[in-house]
Amino acid sequence: MQKPLIPSLITGRLAQSDYNRALAPTRSVYQAIDKQLKADFDGQIGKLEDLRSLAEAHIWKDLHGDWLPRLEKRRDFLPKFKYLLRDALAQARWDPYLEYLTNTVIAVVAIPVALDFVHIAGPIAGSIAGIAASKALDLMHKRVRETTKPYTLFFQGIRQTR
């Protein structure tokens, strides 16, 4: 009953009211399903609204202004999109540990740089080189984190609303 009407409904050749009227004789078949769908919807609408609020706060502009249009027009964007999501999910899950580990790695790299410069140019040059190396690595780390920060916050928010 429905299948032959759907193309006309979607293309606008058939009004929604005419479609509903055509289905009226079979309405009773769907009542049990309709009740279950309504109950499920009513039970989950709060979570859906929370999810939408999180999306609006953190990813809406990128999602609707960039990602979805690019995904529709360019298939080659899909791997980058998957990478962004994977990276944000990892950061959302492991954020405190990753931050500690990254800071430790920055220190481990900066200290030998400083020590090498101490031997080459003296303690003042060594201190400056160590600080410069630490600051440069920290800046690179912050730039990477800034690119995925909204997505990380979105995924962290999702975990809290479950």
Alpha carbon of 60 to those of 8, 14, 39, 41, 154: distances in Å? 33, 33, 28, 23, 10
Residue-level pLDDT, tens digit, the chain, 162 residues: 678 888 998 898 999 999 989 988 888 888 888 899 999 999 999 988 988 998 898 888 888 888 889 999 998 999 988 988 887 777 777 777 777 777 787 777 777 777 777 778 788 877 887 788 887 888 887 777 777 778 777 877 877 776
